[in-house]
Amino acid sequence: MRIYLFATALLAVMLSPSVYAGVFELTLANGLKVIVKEDHRAPVVVQQIWYKAGSMDEHTGKTGVAHVLEHLMFKGTRGVPAGEFSRRIAAAGGRENAFTSNDYTAYFQQLHKSQLPLAMKLESDRMHNLNLTAGEFSKEIKVVMEERRMRTDDDSHALLQEKLMGAAYLEHPYQHPVIGWMSDLEQMTVQDARSWYQQWYAPDNATLVIAGDVYHAQVFELAQRYYGNIPKKGQSARRLFSEPVQLGIKRMVVKAPAELPLLVMSYHAPNIVDPLHDWKPYALEMLAGVLSSTDSARLNKHLVREQQLASSVGASYDSTSRGPGLFSLEAVPSAGQSVAQMEIALRAEIAGLIKNGVGADELKRVKAQVLAGEVYKLDSVFYQAMQIGQMESIGVGYKAIPLMLEKLQAVTTEQLVQVASEFLQDDNLIVAVLDPQPLSGKAMQPAGEANHVR
């Protein structure tokens, strides 16, 4: 579920100066920013192109179009027929895919370093030559609907998350799911995809990240050759959204087929806007770590191990996004425990933390994990490229990465208490509960019965 993705992103965001070394950048005349991370450990390379357009840039009634376009980017250009992009990358020994988030859309290929020119040729081609046909659209929109059924409609936790986001954000477009609402998908046309492509796919709205066994001067030359002639479109100022202050607790229930209930408590929380002067987002990152970075962190130790009220529990927060964030607690109650008891227990954890403070050892432990993570990250070229692309796409910039690491290391226990008491309060809270429904619509069979078939 999405919340877990946030949790992994949490400790993943930060880079050390050592990782920052070996990064080179150049902006082409057409506005394309090219960033190269040299890493010569293995003869491989990754190309990632990041477009600053995600589901938050969509309008009501057209949700899901960013992601649909991502699918259609594999459906051919004037010179490369449908399916041929994937076939050529495969024939070069490559792996490829793409992903769309609230904030951005990105495409990548991993290959032997000798195949970089091929990947750049193909990727630059579809930046401006995409051939969007009604025929390909009509097939692919069905694929996307199947994806929505699989990932959301038939997954109770994902469904809860989708409805929680819809309730948490009134004005901000984070209220809409990345995959799009089904009725929007049903009414979408190839012209919607075309307009999206024309508006956002341009060198001056993209970041190209190349990482691996390459030399930056050569990469810049290749970038100029393949991407340099694509005309810029000139990006107009973006509509800025804020989220009106929530004036009181919101509660919601989602009924869906499941066995176990799930409680999610999400509090509105800021994201990093000014990496140098902000301090609260860093404190919130460390707070999530103190609460749930290990099995012996507060939430699991107290609620799963000691009191045995929960079957699982976690805290999550992502400081790095284009729009306003959420700090979330979630728990699956143990058999026999109610969701209400679970909520009381989670609230008691937060109240206890605010009243009694946080041990220096707890915070130090999270910092040690963050620091070690900086070294472990060197084992993945792909991941290093991901961080650079993500930081560029949300507007913070990759150069802030070492600074962010320093800021995290500078967080104090007092600051943890301060952000907990400022943000983790009722007026700011959305409580979402999954109310499990039997599959048959009838009462569930008693536990322990062997026949699970209904």
Of residues 181 through 210, those in contact with other proteins by CB under 8 A are none
Other CB atoms within 10 A of residue 224 CB: 16
Q: Rule CB under 8 A: say whether 48 interacts with other proteins.
A: no
Interacting span for other proteins (CB under 8 A) from 257-265, 323-331, 388-396, 401-409:
257-265
**Interface stretch with other proteins, choices 57-65, 104-112, 119-127, 384-392 (CB under 8 A):** 104-112
278: left (phi over 0), alpha (psi -120 to 50) or beta: beta
Span 17-46, contacts to other proteins by CB under 8 A: 41-44
Stretch that binds other proteins, among 22-30, 270-278, 414-422, 435-443 (CB under 8 A): 435-443
The correct pick among 22, 99, 153, 172 for binding other proteins (CB under 8 A) is 153
The answer to whether 221 contacts other proteins (rule: CB under 8 A) is: no
Which CA distances in Å does 185 have to 27, 76, 169?
36, 21, 21
Decide whether 44 or 283 has the Cβ nearer to other proteins.
Answer: 44
List the one residue out of 398, 23, 30 whose CA is nearest residue 224: 30
335 binds other proteins (CB under 8 A): yes
CB-based contacts of 62: which residues, under 8 Å, 6+ apart?
184, 188, 192
Specify the 3-state DSSP secondary structure of 75: coil
Report phi then psi at 109, rounded to 5: -135, 140
Cβ atoms of 102 and 174 closer than 8 Å: yes
Number of residues near other proteins (by CB under 8 A): 82
Choose which of 312, 409, 412, 421 interacts with other proteins (CB under 8 A).
Answer: 312
Does the protein bind other proteins through residue 114 (CB under 8 A)? yes
Residue 237 binds to other proteins (criterion: CB under 8 A): no
For residue 70, indicate whether it is catalytic.
yes
Cα–Cα distance between 170 and 304 in angstroms, integer?
34
Question: 25, 58, 70, 330: which one is catalytic?
Answer: 70
User: Could you say whether residue 78 binds other proteins (CB under 8 A)?
Assistant: no
301 within 8 A of 365, measured Cβ to Cβ? no
Which residues in the 345-384 window bind other proteins by CB under 8 A? 361, 364-366, 368-369, 371-373, 375-376, 378-381
* Footprint on residues 120-139 left by other proteins (CB under 8 A): 138-139
Distance CA 188, CA 182 (A): 10
Of 17, 61, 79, 83, the one binding other proteins (CB under 8 A) is: 83
Q: Are 424 and 265 in contact (CB under 8 A)?
A: no
Catalytically active residues, by annotation: 70
